[in-house]
Structure 1
Amino acid sequence: MSTIVAATHIPLFDRIAGFSEASFDGRLMDGQGLRLSLLRDMARLFNARNGLSVEAFLASEPSVLDYGLPDLLSLSPQSALDLAKVAEVFRHGLALYEPRLSHIEVKASRDPGKHYAARVSIAGAVNVGNQLCRVDFDVVVDSQAVQVRETA
């Protein structure tokens, strides 16, 4: 009897880079492998800067030339309006460049440990085979880099 396997195809760039550690057959990855792939791709996306202003980015259509996020140094994590703009930038970036993620919710807040940093919480869903699975990520944004980690 056939069984349904909760798995998805390994993305091309993961195969090229040799990231198939969560694959049981070299072609398909399970839910944890997909989460790791999303984590890597979001870290790349969030740490790449395009030349657009925040306003131009939010009005932009998908383009390889504008891959990445705009520089967010002009936004303060101490300002509620700026934190709302940070959340909007991350939401738009994910909508443009991460098609595997759906039902995206993004919230930005001050990082209690660093007064100059913002913390962005990302929740969404991904398809693993025929199942829709929830994923949650925690992002710390400061003047040096963006750090992404999966939350439990």
Structure 2
Amino acid sequence: MDVETFPWMDEQELIASVRREVAHALNTRCTLTLEQAGSLEPHERSALDYGLPDLRPLGPAAADARHLERLIARAVEAYEPRLRQIHVSVRIPPEEEGAPVAVITARLAQEAIAEPISLPLRLDRSGRLVEVDGEG
């Protein structure tokens, strides 16, 4: 899919728009199971699959962190076409050490903006997005 340019937005407005859309996608729960969401390629998802599945079954294990990374990356790739080369890292600490943290790094698919952006995510213990922090 071609991504149209947004000449009326400067770089900061574009990054703020991307941040809002990523937050909306990650705060929305779809009806897919964890397995279904993990097996669908981003291009196979539709508006009915918008968002992330219920993440409560995921725990603090490293395998669950990797699964969450994949789910976040696939949702962002499916529903935020202005981002390319998406990479997600998640750290799920023991409960007594605090909430999970994640960082999305990607490149904007806009010709005038070539630099990478980073979107730190604050999550609650269930993996639900609390906030997309930081500046691009």
Question: What TM-score comes out, normalization by structure 2 length?
Answer: 0.82
Runs (4 or more) in structure 1 with deviation over 6 Å come to none
Q: Percent identity?
A: 30
Q: Which residue of 1 aligns with 2:101?
A: 119
Would the aligned equivalents of 2:108 and 2:114 in 1 still touch at CA under 8 Å?
Answer: yes
Gaps of 5+ in 2: none
Q: Which residue of 2 aligns with 1:109?
A: 91
Alignment of 1:131-150 (within 5 A): 131-142=113-124, 143=126, 145-146=128-129, 147-150=131-134
Q: Which has the higher contact order (CA 8 A, sep 6+)?
A: 2
Q: Determine which structure has more spread, i.e. the larger CA radius of gyration.
A: 1
Partner amino acid for 1:46?
Answer: L
Question: Which is further off, 138-147 or 52-61?
Answer: 138-147
What's the CA shift for 1:133? 2.2
Q: Which residue of 1 aligns with 2:38?
A: 58
Give the Cα separation in 2 of the matches to 1:72 and 1:144. 6
Deviations 1:57-100 (A, max 9, x none): 12221200111101111001x21010000001001111111110
Gaps of 5+ in 1: 1-7, 10-26
Question: What TM-score comes out, normalization by structure 1 length?
Answer: 0.74
Alignment RMSD (CA, Å):
2.2
Higher helix content, 1 or 2 = 2
Higher strand content, 1 or 2 = 1
Question: Which is further off, 124-133 or 86-95?
Answer: 124-133
